[in-house]
Amino acid sequence: MIEESGPMLSPGFWLHHAALAWRAELDQRLRTIGLTPTQFMLLASAGWLEHTQGAPTQQQVAAQAGADRMMTSKVVKTLLEAELLSREVDPDDSRAYRLRLTTKGRKLTRQATEIARTLDTEYFGDAPEALRKTFRQIANRRST
Q: pLDDT tens-digit profile of 8-41? A: 888 889 899 999 999 999 999 999 999 999 999 9
Contacts of 45 (CB under 8 A, 6+ apart): 56, 61, 64, 65
pLDDT value at residue 74: 98
Is the pTM for the entire model greater than 0.85?
Answer: yes
Q: Burial level of 47, CB count in 10 A (0-12/13-18/19+)?
A: buried
Residue 3: is its pLDDT beyond 70? Answer: no
Q: Assign a CATH topology to domain 32-143.
A: Arc Repressor Mutant, subunit A (1.10.10)
